Amino acid sequence: MNAQAIQHNLPLFSFYALAAAITACCLAVAFSRNIVHCAIFLAGAFFCVAGVFILLDAEFLAAIQVIVYVGAVAILILFAVMLSEKVEGARDRRHQTSQRVPALAGAAALGAAAVSVVRSHPWNAVSEEAYWNDMAGGSVENLGMLLLQPYALPFEIASVLLLAAMVGAIVIARRLKEDDRS
């Protein structure tokens, strides 16, 4: 294969590499017995999903995926693991329920149904020419325009939701001291 063909197929190769890494990380999260390993593989899966967003020309989403998921949610999960159970105690022998077979059957059936629908449906995909004609400036500018003009109200409501979630999380997780009750 010559250099030009490799360059032409680079997005496809990147996609397959990212897809393999994501699948492996997700399987590790679903099957690993050590919950700290689960959390670290989860961070790896989030990071690879950011790569998929870059392949999809969604640079802003890739950035917030890294900041919010890898930087915040994965760390939050690691903290919850550390604060809740000892790591050795988390290595639980009965780490999965007895309903493994029905769960596997259900998940596999759902996945097979989704894949068959995806493969058989005639998507009216946009031509690359039309896409780059309309999106010459990149997607970040268009996304900002969308978020701050027609979707400004949901945007503000989302910030209020974050505030409410923050206050709620503090109230729920706070340790009540006896002398604080006065």
Partner 1 sequence: MPTLTHYLTLSAVMFSIGLFGALTRRNAISILMCIEIMLNAVNINLAAFSRYLSDPLTGRYLSAWFGDVAAPWQGGPLGQVFVVFTITVAAAEASVALAIVLAIYRSRKTIQIDDINLMKW
**82-101 binders of partner 1 (CB under 8 A):** 83-85, 90, 92, 94-97, 99-100
96/29 Cα distance (integer angstroms)? 12
- Contacts of residues 24-31 at CB distance under 8 Å and 24 or more positions apart, as own/partner, are none
What x/- string results for residues 20 through 59 when contact with partner 1 is judged by CB under 8 A? --xx--xx-xxx---x--xx--x--xx--x--xx-xxxx-
Minimum CB separation from partner 1 for residue 2, in Å? Answer: 18
The angle formed by the CA atoms of residues 54, 118 and 115, to the nearest 5 degrees, is 95
Minimum CB separation from partner 1 for residue 152, in Å? Answer: 11
Minimum CB separation from partner 1 for residue 54, in Å? Answer: 10
* Nearer Cβ to partner 1 (3/118): 118
Residues 152-181, interacting with partner 1 (CB under 8 A): 154, 158, 161-162, 164-166, 168-170, 172-173, 175
Minimum CB separation from partner 1 for residue 15, in Å? Answer: 4
Minimum CB separation from partner 1 for residue 101, in Å? Answer: 10
* Nearer Cβ to partner 1 (2/98): 98
Concatenated DSSP letters of 27-95: HHHHH-S-HHHHHHHHHHHHHHHHHHHHHTT-HHHHHHIIIIIIIIIHHHHHHHHHHHS-HHHHS-TT-
Q: Is 58 left (phi over 0), alpha (psi -120 to 50) or beta?
A: beta
- CA dihedral (21, 26, 28, 29) in degrees, to 10, reads 140
Q: Which residue has the tokens 């915040």?
A: 72
Q: Count residues binding partner 1 (CB under 8 A).
A: 94
What x/- string results for residues 112 through 141 when contact with partner 1 is judged by CB under 8 A? --xx--xx---xxxxxx-xx-xxx-x-x-x
